[in-house]
Structure 1
């Protein structure tokens, strides 16, 4: 009987029927649901972890809409549920802080769900909204936005976000900045891995695409040396391709290291 009662209570909470109003002798007529915010958020996120991200996305957006309605009520001088009952300014300020924090938490969950669905546009839009909020951790958010650009293959966009993140943080680079720099350089490492895997043409294509997407930052010594070596291994036409690289260097950089020039003219 005890297990059955617990199951009924659990189903009642899911259905939103298990409210404080049902127990006036215990809660003195307090309004609202006994189900905590964390519990409701867990219920919304569970389908995503069970291979049903679309179901989670719908539930999370419903939660977000409810939270924003409550914030709107508070800003209009009402209670969270729209009741015109007066509350003190300090209580109203506390409620606004609480529900603003919950709004941010649900937005983070929606971003994770959007990434699971490969809806990068939605994820980028929400990250941008979070960056614009007062008191937001812009350094971490801009870094996350840059990594999202990298997933899309937008190296130049990622570089802009990482630069802004470093500017916001200030001071010497930390672990996050070093990881961001490593992610920007990962295409060079991919080219080397492809070469050792016997995929010479694919390795060349990866490095060439990196230069084409962001020549100002991609034309650095390590990548150029690797690409020149790959050109030499590819065919006798590698010299012509190296000359094309030399033209790009002269266009985007004032000078090139001696080792690069020796490799290009070699």
Structure 2
């Protein structure tokens, strides 16, 4: 069963903190990124670079990070790598390619009389770590992520603890995707040491325990979440989805569908519940209703539901249900082309 709750490991790349926020027209770039208009981001950066708008060193770094992120989102990974590699001076530290005076505010006292330390957006370090696996070198990505983890741990402050947690989460996701569950469990438990009452972390622990067949462990993790008795639809839906997964494991699809329906009633934008309800209906041999569920979700909440995993599942159902599924998928693809953000992968329709 597809779980759509996994966070995009690049989602925080568009968040910057002072003094980088002083870069020209940053709100516009942030707005374009939030709306998934990555081609417009590339165009805006290109036009800014062609003029005298970017007048200070950190301006160039912030705009470069947006450009590299946009290239990454558009799956132009080789171009994104070239963009990041352009920062590496010939006399850099091989253990940290960004350990160089050119990246320090201190090196430009005429521009930044009040600032000290590195002006490099953390997003550049994250992209530098993530990109190798996108072009076939996962081992290099792991090496860089673990180096980045050490880098964050060597620094103090709440913002660095948040970055440390994000890198740990990225590593856990990487190992999970590659079915290295023992390492994934160890990393999640390390995250729980700092945040023992995080219901989402505990739920992820339960998901991994289910993957390795530790049913008792997953029940205990999910029970800890439910016992928190927090308020809000988001928490109640988390509990509901956890319960539903337990039913799925025991092949009680009727009960799982009931839990997912309650989640959807509480929050119609809960795409995870909608997707998993459709899969349970399919497992129950109710292919017609499973298709209606996903089509209805796309119609009601297209911005939230337009997810490659959901579309792949819907197209798979079309292939099972209809002999002439090509025409139906073509219609879906044409609709997606009108409403999807730039980084949506149209190949997921398998036309």
Q: In 2, are the aligned partners of 1:53 and 1:117 still within 8 Å (CA)?
A: no
Residue 39 of structure 1: CA displacement?
Answer: 2.1
- Given the superposition, is the C-alpha separation of residues 8 and 23 from structure 1 closer, same or farther in structure 2, using an over 3 Å criterion? farther
Structure number with greater CO (CA < 8 Å, separation at least 6) is: 2
CA distance in 1, matches of 2:88, 2:110: 19
Residue 109 of structure 1: CA displacement?
Answer: 1.0
CA distance in 2, matches of 1:8, 1:140: 35
- Given the superposition, is the C-alpha separation of residues 99 and 194 from structure 1 closer, same or farther in structure 2, using an over 3 Å criterion? closer
Query: Match for 1:39 among 124, 136, 143?
Result: 124
How do 1:53-202 residues align onto structure 2 when only pairs under 5 Å count? 53-71=138-156, 96-134=157-195, 137-169=197-229, 174-189=236-251
CA distance in 2, matches of 1:11, 1:34: 16
CA distance in 1, matches of 2:135, 2:83: 23
Residue 127 of structure 1: CA displacement?
Answer: 1.0
Whether 1:22 and 2:84 are equivalent positions in the alignment is no
Residue 142 of structure 1: CA displacement?
Answer: 0.8
Unaligned runs of 5+ in 1: 72-95, 197-266
CA distance in 2, matches of 1:26, 1:174: 50
Q: In 2, are the aligned partners of 1:143 and 1:161 still within 8 Å (CA)?
A: yes
- Given the superposition, is the C-alpha separation of residues 186 and 9 from structure 1 closer, same or farther in structure 2, using an over 3 Å criterion? closer
RMSD: 3.4
Unaligned runs of 5+ in 2: 1-48, 51-59, 65-81, 90-96, 254-279, 286-351
In the other structure, the counterpart of 2:316 is: none
SS at match of 1:35: coil
CA distance in 2, matches of 1:150, 1:57: 25
The alignment covers a number of residue pairs equal to: 169
Q: In 1, are the aligned partners of 2:132 and 2:138 still within 8 Å (CA)?
A: yes
- Given the superposition, is the C-alpha separation of residues 103 and 129 from structure 1 closer, same or farther in structure 2, using an over 3 Å criterion? same
Q: Deviations over 1:10-58 (max 9, x none)?
A: 6225831331243232123844333211221122122334443322221
Q: How does the TM-score come out when normalised to structure 1? A: 0.53
SS at match of 1:169: coil
SS at match of 2:111: helix
Q: In 2, are the aligned partners of 1:57 and 1:114 still within 8 Å (CA)?
A: no
In the other structure, the counterpart of 1:228 is: none
- Given the superposition, is the C-alpha separation of residues 137 and 46 from structure 1 closer, same or farther in structure 2, using an over 3 Å criterion? farther
CA distance in 1, matches of 2:84, 2:231: 53
- Given the superposition, is the C-alpha separation of residues 52 and 165 from structure 1 closer, same or farther in structure 2, using an over 3 Å criterion? farther
SS at match of 1:25: coil
SS at match of 2:154: helix
Residue 146 of structure 1: CA displacement?
Answer: 0.2
